[in-house]
Amino acid sequence: MRVAPTNLTVLITGESGAGKEVFSQIIHSLSPRKHNAFIAVNSGAIPEGTIDSELFGHEKGAFTGASDKRKGYFETADKGTLFLDEVGEIPLGTQARLLRVLETGEFIKVGSSKVLKTDVRLVAATNKDLFQDIKHGKFREDLYYRLGTVPIKVPPLRERPEDISLLFRKFAADFSNKYRTDTVRLDEEAQQLLMSYHWPGNVRELKNIAEQVSVLSMDNIVTKEVLLGFLPKSRASRLPALIENGNGQSNGGDSYSERELLYKIMFDMKNDINDLKKILYQIVQSGNDKVEQTDLAREFAVQYASENVREAAFLDQHAVRINTANNPVIIQKPEVQQHEEVEESLSIDDKEQELIRKALAKHKGKRRDAALDLGISERTLYRKIKEYKIEE
C-alpha cells in the first residue's frame, strides 16, 4: 500500500504458487495508473528468439515471418503497469535492453533505428535465487539492483498457517458463485488438517483443493475424513521432507541435496553409536556387574576396544584385556607389517610417459581432452606418443 502510489520498480520474490501476481495486481489497483493497462507477462514461457519482439515490438520484415509491424508490451502498457513474471529466465541480451528502458524509458523495436519513449511502471517477480544466477553469470547485477528498488518477499503458505482457513473460505465462496452450489465449510478437525499440511504448491494448490471439495463434496460441512480424500496421500502431514525451492536446492539454511542429507544422517548415526560404545566400554572397565552381564554391553565394549586398539596408549607394549563378567576377552596388539621400500625412478622421461598414459586413460583415448589436461598442444601430445611408442 505504501509503494503503490509511487513509480518505484518492485521485485516480488517467493516460491511458485505463493501469489506473486496477485500482489502485482494489488500494487496496480492502488496506484494512480489503475485506470490504464495492466499487462502480465510470463517471461519463462517466451522463446529466447522472440522475447525481444514480444517486449519491445518489431518492424515489418525485421525477421522471417514478420509480415507486419507489431507493438511490444512496453509500448502497449504505456502509462500503465507491466508485470514480468519469472524475470530470472530472461536472456542476458534482453536484460541489457531491459536495463536501458528502466533507466531512460527508451527502447528500439527489433529491425528499427528509431528510439521510442514509454512510461511504464514495472513490477517483476521470480521464484529463483537471483544472487546465485549473478554469481554464475546468468543475471546482470546492475539489473538486479534496478529491479529490486523495493523488494517484497511473499512467504510460502506453510509459514503463514493462519491464512489457510481464510483463503479456503474465500475460494469456496468464489466457486460456490461460479458453479451455483452451496458454500462448503470445514469443521474444526478439517481446519487443523489443512494447517498441518505442508502445501508444496502454496496458494495455487490450496485453490485447487478448494475447487475439488466445492464440486465433489456430498455435504456442505467437510470433515477431516472427507478432506483426507482430496489431499495427496504421501503429503498429508507436516512430516520432515525435502522440498525444493525452484532453483534445485532444498529449503532450509543448508543447501543439502537428498543424497548429501542421507549421508549426513548416516555419519551422525555412526558417531552416536561410537559414543555409545565408548560409554559402555568405560562402564565395563569400571567393574559394573549389572552391565557386564548383558551380551550387548560386552559386544559393544569389545567392538570399541577393537576399533580403537591402535589409539590406546597402553597398547604400545601390551595386549588389551577386557574383564566382562566371567568371560575375559583379550584383544592382541596389532602386528605392524614391514614394508619394503622400493626406490622410485626419478627419470623425467619415465614420469612424462606415466602422465601421458594416465591422461589418455582418463579421457578414454581422446587426445584433445588429454592434451588440455596435460597443458600441452595436441600436436605435441601426438609427437610424444610416437616418441615413447605409447599404445592408446
pLDDT in tens, 32-63: 999 999 999 999 999 988 999 999 999 998 88
Residue 139 and residue 98 in contact, taking contact as beta carbons nearer than 8 Å: no
Asked if residue 340 belongs to a domain, the reply is no
Question: Per residue of the chain (392 residues), what is the pLDDT tens digit?
Answer: 999 999 999 999 999 999 999 999 999 999 999 999 999 999 999 998 899 999 999 999 888 888 899 999 999 999 999 999 999 999 999 999 999 999 999 999 999 999 999 999 999 999 999 999 999 999 999 999 999 999 999 999 999 999 999 999 999 999 999 999 999 999 999 999 999 999 999 999 999 999 999 999 889 999 999 999 999 875 544 544 444 444 444 444 444 556 667 777 877 787 777 777 777 666 666 665 555 455 656 666 666 666 555 444 444 444 444 444 445 544 444 454 555 555 556 678 888 888 888 888 888 888 888 888 888 888 888 888 888 888 76
Is the domain of 228 the same as that of 286?
no
- Asked, for residue 279, whether it belongs to a domain, the answer is yes
Tell me, yes or no, whether 175 lies in a domain: yes
The answer to whether residues 19 and 147 belong to one domain is yes
- In the chain, how many domains are there? 4
For residue 325, the model assigns a pLDDT of: 46
Task: Specify the CATH number for the domain of residue 197.
Answer: 1.10.8.60
Widest pairwise Cα distance in the chain: 99
End residue of a domain, out of 138, 153, 168 = 153
CATH number, domain with residue 382: 1.10.10
Q: Which domain holds residue 301?
A: 258-331
Same-domain status, 30 and 148: yes
Residues 6+ positions from 95 with CB-CB distance below 8 Å: 139, 140, 143
Instruction: Among 153, 179, 208, identify where a domain stops.
Output: 153
User: CA-CA distances (angstroms) from residue 66 to 41, 58, 114?
Assistant: 21, 8, 18
Cell numbers describing residue 213 = 471439495
Q: Give yes or no: residues 107 and 193 share one domain.
A: no
Pair 51, 113 in one domain:
yes
pTM as predicted:
0.58
Same-domain status, 118 and 211: no
Q: Are residues 24 and 71 in the same domain?
A: yes
286 located within any domain: yes
Domain boundary among 153, 179, 209: 153
Do residues 137 and 143 lie in contact, with contact meaning Cβ atoms separated by under 8 Å? no
Distance CA 205, CA 210 (A): 9
142 and 64 in a single domain? The answer is: yes
Neighbours of 73 (CB within 10 A): 20
Q: Could you give the CA distance from residue 102 to residue 55 in angstroms, rounded to a whole number? A: 13
Separation in Å, CA 297 to CA 225, 281, 301, 302:
47, 8, 6, 9
Are 375 and 297 found together in one domain?
no
Residue 383: predicted pLDDT: 83
State the pLDDT at residue 14.
95
Predicted local confidence at residue 307, as pLDDT: 58
Both 23 and 149 in one domain: the answer is yes
Instruction: Tell me, yes or no, whether 101 and 35 share the same domain.
Output: yes
Shared-domain flag, residues 126 and 199: no
